[in-house]
Amino acid sequence: MKNSNNSVKIDGIDKKILRFLMSDARKPILEIARSIGISGAAIHQRLRKLEGSGLLSGSKFVINPKVLGYTTMAYIGIFLDKAMSNPQAVKELEKIPEVLECHYTTGNWSILIKVLCKDNEHLMHVLNKRIQQIDGVSRTETFISLNQQIDRQISI
């Protein structure tokens, strides 16, 4: 199932199974099996192999944050005073629940984070009272997302 470069090789049946589950992870295995024309046991066996290969990293429910009142999504580029500050800054960012993602980057910023807040006032509080107070953070650059246009996974 693995290629020499550590990528996973999947066949047409694996792709069909994955497409079904990517569109609805709660779809019954037997329904998928009937659609594809193989047994439910074969689907289970293939899913175990795909999980074992590392291709599948679990399933989850997706919460709609707007229903909970979170309407302001922002991306914040963080400038650190020195590269040695990265690990400690990330540890502090992990403590902030509004931080959804954190990436080391090339370019101007040391770190790029994605945050979700209830509104602009909440975002300003997170920026001023939490992020900019972290030792090593020299400044930040914030981009507010007005509307997410594309949200998808990689094509299979």
For 20-42, what is each residue's pLDDT tens digit?
999 998 999 999 999 999 999 99
List Cβ<8 Å contacts ≥24 apart for 33-39.
38/13
User: For the domain bounded by 65-145, which CATH number is listed?
Assistant: 3.30.70.920
For 31-82, what is each residue's pLDDT tens digit?
999 999 999 999 999 999 999 999 998 888 889 999 999 999 999 999 999 8
Q: Is the domain covering 12-53 a CATH 1.10.10.10 domain?
A: yes
Give residue limits of the domains in the chain: 12-53, 65-145
Q: Say what the pTM is.
A: 0.84
Instruction: Count CB neighbours of 126 within 10 A.
Output: 22
CB 140 within 8 A of CB 132: yes
